[in-house]
Amino acid sequence: MDEVAALELRSVDLQSSRNNKEHHTQEMGLKRLIVRRGQLFTLQLHFNRPFQFQTDHITFVAETGPAPMELLGTRAIFSLTQARPGNVWSASDFTIDSDSLFVSLFTPANAVIGSYTLKIEMSQGQGHSSTHPLGTFILLFNPWSAEDDVHLPSEALLREYILMDYGFVYKGHKRFITAWPWNYGQFEEDIIDICFEILNKSLYFLQNPSKDCSQRNDVVYVCRVVSAMINSNDDRGVLQGNWGEDYSMGVSPLEWNGSVAILRQWSARGGQPVKYGQCWVFAAVMCTVMRCLGVPTRVVSNFRSAHNADGNLTIDTYYNRNAEMLPNQKQDKIWNFHVWNECWMIRKDLPPGYNGWQVLDPTPQQTSSGLFCCGPASVKAIKEGEVQLAYDTPFVYAEVNADEVIWLFGDGQAQEILAHNTSSIGNEISTKMVGSDQRQNITSSYKYPEGSPEERSVFMKASQKMLGPGRASSPFLDLLGSRDFQDQPAQLQLHLARMPEWGRDLLLKLHARRVADRAHPRAPIRLEVRFCVQALLHKGGAREPLWRQTVRLNLDFGQEIEWPLLLPFNNYGNKLTEEKLIRVSGIAKVKETGRSMLVLKDISLEPPHLSIKASERAEVGKALGVHITLTNNLTVALSNCVMVLEGSGLIDGQISNELGTLLPGHTLQIQLDLYPIKAGPRQLQVLISSNEVKEIKGYQDIFVAAAGAS
């Protein structure tokens, strides 16, 4: 009997195109193998002769990280078997076709994610063995697998939170929320490599590469590393924060359209932090990275978000007699809005009941285990006040639940409580609705209805855990308990008389109504109301006053008065921050009692509106006509206008055009052709910035047909 020739490997087909489609990674490209853990993928091995299972022995070796070890889970050795042995590395389900062997490889649902090399060791009987490289593949989390800790059992949710590469960030303030289009771009071909570059530049990896890689099977660990690496406070992270107003050394946070340009710049410059980010930029970039790695992720905005540095669950704000908001000497602040992420996962490190959405916040606010990161904190734990559960739950609980106490300050001390607001913090918590461009209010996921017995009960439980049982004996709480500041002889409200547009005078009305009180139940009263207008800073606090006015009113019992207030554009035009947000404050002194009342109104000024129209039909590789219109309906010119277009699948990178100056009353009309790159639902993001207004944004949803589709 002739001796069978030694088995020799002639070629390998990783079947990237087929495997990537089955693993929902085809958007990242079809040229290299990108698969998800806990799911089979198929290889074709071509030999010099037919494979014989009884005598030819094949062993596969998969390795990741700088020093792969089986003990650490970064090296796996597994032989060809006829049946799959469970949730372990395996090669099975093989078929033999002439000189080819088709074999299915399985990676366990708790495998380390990363870039792997795959080798094969071949031998016959007890004879000589040889090793051959088969190639490389990237392994990601798998939310389609019921065995994976990130499993999300809904195709609609998976389409939104993994496969959708564009979305919205919600900004503004709680009564005027604006949707900002954002290009996540997680499937651009180089983004997956940049995501692992981010992990490989973390302090954890630099200190102990082998240990760090071995922990990348744990989504909680990976999320914390990414949260720390999106900001650059401790490390060579992606973005440098800037909450000042000088962005001359980089790009204003308002001028980013998406994550791709940021991530590419960070990588191209060897890990130098990109200038500049603020909370919505940090969160949007983290959303890109986590969706790319396979973790269901969304961007969440919290309006009037507390930064409670001392953990006492109250934020103190101070005004003087002239209604001027004073600088707060403490770290405590109320941000106009704050943006973070939620990632979906099982929390095996917590007691049962806290799986699902977890808060992760890459904005550098405070340290956690020595690094500037935050989370994951279970949204369910936040709602139930279980602030003892990891990670950083007390901080996030305060962001949405702290009480606001407003004081009248004079003669070097707090003199009088003007208001105690139990519901002014943590409003309109918002994210993009699944399968829609609409906003979804998810406040009820974070807390029970304001003022309900459940909400106050949870607040007391969380307070006792954070502050200890002795909390109830402070002089401040005694003062609050008296509630004298709530017994007021008049009701004051500020209303906008017309839409507030930047570039126009603002018209407001003070509505005053005399009501009964204990001191002067039905007598007339005299009010002196001092008004002050200040530009609000994003991280809380305000600039110097830019307008003042004093109004004197006489009110009989039951009488209502409306008093107009006019804020000329000349007073505020060049004195606002780029976010164009102002606060109108009024403090009314009651002559008869000497007591004070507070009335507030925050106003977000609307920028001009863009109009974007695209051809009715879009097809891969064919010209798509786009028409962009901007009319300057302001009283001032917009100088140094620059337009930036972005949209994954529509444009490779960005298109940027300088447009010059747009005079008042004039219209810009821009016509251009795009050549779509990928089929499916896409979004074109357009930003026009100028010296006067940084954020004139618009978007157009476009469905792109495949090439040659009729």
Ligand-binding annotation for 155, yes or no, is: no
Question: What are the helix (H) ranges across 331-388?
Answer: 379-384
- Please name the residue that has the structure tokens 């002769």: 49
Residues 619, 598: contact at Cβ < 8 Å? Answer: no
Can 338 be counted among the known catalytic residues?
yes
- Report the interhelical angle of 279-293 vs 191-200 (nearest 10°): 100
Active-site option among 213, 223, 279, 292: 279
Q: Up-side HSE of residue 41: CA atoms within 13 Å toward CB?
A: 27
- Please name the residue that has the structure tokens 């977890």: 358
Ligand-binding annotation for 401, yes or no, is: yes
The most distant pair of C-alpha atoms in the chain lies apart, rounded to whole Å, by 120
Tokens standing for residue 505: 């005078």
**Degrees, nearest 5: CA angle 545-320-536:** 40
- State the DSSP H helix or E strand holding residue 631, giving kind and residue range, or none if neither: strand 624-631
Amino acid at 375: G
Beta strands in 235-375 (DSSP E): 239-241, 274-277, 297-307, 314-319, 333-345, 356-360
Q: What is the C-alpha separation between 511 and 564, in angstroms, rounded?
A: 9
Ligand-binding annotation for 341, yes or no, is: no
Q: Which of these, 186, 136, 144, 162, lies nearest to 33 by C-alpha position?
A: 136
Instruction: Give the CA distances from residue 576 to residues 12, 224, 238, 477, in Å, rounded to whole numbers and listed in that order.
Output: 63, 36, 29, 36
Amino acid at 621: G
Ligand-binding annotation for 455, yes or no, is: yes
Can 361 be counted among the known catalytic residues?
yes
Q: Which of these, 332, 249, 334, 242, lies nearest to 282 by C-alpha position?
A: 242
b/e per residue, 692-707, with b = 16+ CB within 10 A?
Answer: bbbbbbbbbebebeee
Active-site option among 24, 307, 338, 538: 338
Q: What share of the chain is helix, strand, coil (3-state, %, to 5)?
A: 20, 40, 40
For 651, residues 6+ apart whose C-beta sits below 8 A from its C-beta are 645, 674, 677, 684
- State the DSSP H helix or E strand holding residue 419, giving kind and residue range, or none if neither: strand 413-421
Instruction: Give the CA distances from residue 614 to residues 423, 698, 709, in Å, rounded to whole numbers and listed in that order.
Output: 43, 13, 19
Provide the Cα torsion 498, 504, 505, 509; round to 10°: 10
Phi, psi at 268, each rounded to 5°: -65, -30
Active-site option among 165, 361, 517, 602: 361
Tokens standing for residue 692: 């006067």
For 86, residues 6+ apart whose C-beta sits below 8 A from its C-beta are none
Phi, psi at 656, each rounded to 5°: -125, 135
Cβ–Cβ contacts within 10 Å for residue 181, how many?
23
Can 487 be counted among the known catalytic residues?
no
Residues 173, 70: contact at Cβ < 8 Å? Answer: no
The binding site comprises: 401, 403, 450, 455
The binding site for Ca(2+) comprises: 401, 403, 450, 455
Q: Which residues are catalytic?
A: 279, 338, 361
